[in-house]
Chain A
Amino acid sequence: MEITSNEFFKTRRLVLKGAGVAALIGLGVVPFEVPQALAAANDKYPEEAFKQKTEAEAIKALYGKTAEPSDKIKLDAPEIAENGAVVPISATTTLADVSSISFLVSENPISLVASYKIPAGTLPSVANRIKMAKTSNVTVLVEAGGKLYSAVKEIKVTVGGCGG
């Protein structure tokens, strides 16, 4: 019984992975119009970073550098997510000159979840709700003074947030 269900999930996972790739290829073809306001802000959507599967590749595509751990970042997240579909996560930092804050889930099929640009005058603190496929490390990256810092926390997921 268990073997059957394991096999089922394995096959299903494989199918999902294949479909993900197909979907991403699809994405590239969709005409993407940038509204005036966004164009004016000169902030392009980091399409490449959102295509990367692993955390390392996503960080490289997004920032082009590696992060060092910092205890000046506070990552606030539950120990056990009530449901992987809606995991409330917030980050705040005492680091100076913060220009962006990003969230990554290492076990998600696409690691990068959200990246926030923090213009001068905006506080370096963000709360959002994210999906988690399963128990995973969640990484928050903070770009401050041109350098990249990180904090990590493991969140247990008992009900996955990616459907099925």
Chain B
Amino acid sequence: MMLRLAIRTAVALALGVLALAPAARAADTVDPAADKAAFQKFFTDKFPKLKLEDFVNGPYSMNEDLHRQWEEKEQFPPYEFSLEAGKEMFSKPFKNGKTYADCFPNQGIGIRQNYPYFDETEGKVITLELALNRCREANGEAPFSYVRDDMAALTAYMAFTSRGKLMDIKIPNDPRALEAYQKGKEYFYTRRGQLNFSCATCHIQSPGERIRAEVLAPALGILNAMPIYRSEWSGMGTTSRRFTTCNSQIRGVPLNPQDDEYRNLEYYLSYVSNGLPISGPGARP
């Protein structure tokens, strides 16, 4: 008798909770501006000594010994050769006489902070790497690999001309843009791979901590520094390379560079870093 009462009460309570659920879901509507504020507050609360712009320097802002090594490297940074190659490539005309500058607003100079953007005609996110390859193809040139040196050099130069400009990703009043943003956010927080890690496991929960030998970078501002020269790679890496290697490292199967999921992810991750300066090309351990 008592037991039956207890069960009944429990059922009633459970139903009550269910009834409340739609209200809770309402608070979960897609609100990028609120996301951004909460995202940035999380990091500034977690690392009260750091200024917002410090986050673009990744692990170097989290560890003093690393910071000194970085300062020493920055005296003559290892991405210097890539940067110069990128500058040369950028100004060299295609076979048809046109240049990269013809494909971009403001001749491609100082515009890194506006990428990725949502293209309302196409209904999709366009990243800088994708725009560069489309530019090549539109001018009769073969596209570059998204994960190799040529793409890194080009984006290094474009980032360099935009250094200090604040990330400024816009989400137009278009449900498809909001959906792309939301999908990117979901990708970021979804666990995958044999290690069952999400992007957030490392870059939200554990920045500044070591995973094996490496100090994890904060998600905030992580793309502002792209492309990066990694000592671990002994070379340059693009945003595409960063995403695909992250997926392999958690023992997952990487997607193809510039698949919709990655484009949406870049859109989300860049948006929540709005207001932080572009610092690319960067150097990382």
Contact = CB atoms under 8 A, between A and B. Distances in A.
A adjacent to B, CB under 8 Å: yes
Interface of A: 78-83, 85-88, 90, 127, 129, 158-159
B259 interface: no
A54 B191 CA distance: 48
Contacts of B213: 158-159
Contacts of A80: 65
B46 interface: no
B69 A78 contact: yes
Given A78-B66, A83-B231, A86-B73, 13 more contacts: A78-B69, A79-B65, A82-B285, A85-B234, A86-B231, A90-B72, A127-B72, A158-B212, A158-B213, A158-B214, A159-B213, A159-B232, A159-B285
A82 B234 contact: no
Interface residues of B, number: 15
B237 interface: no
A105 B148 CA distance: 33
Given A158-B213, A159-B232, A82 B69 contact: yes
Nearest to B213: A158
A82 B72 contact: no
Nearest to B232: A83
Contacts of B66: 78, 82
Contact of A85 (B68, B72, B231): B231
Interface in B63-86: 65-66, 68-70, 72-73, 78
B71 to A, nearest CB: 9
Given A80-B65, A82-B285, A88 B232 contact: no
B66, B69, B285 interface centre (most CB from chain A within 10 Å): B69
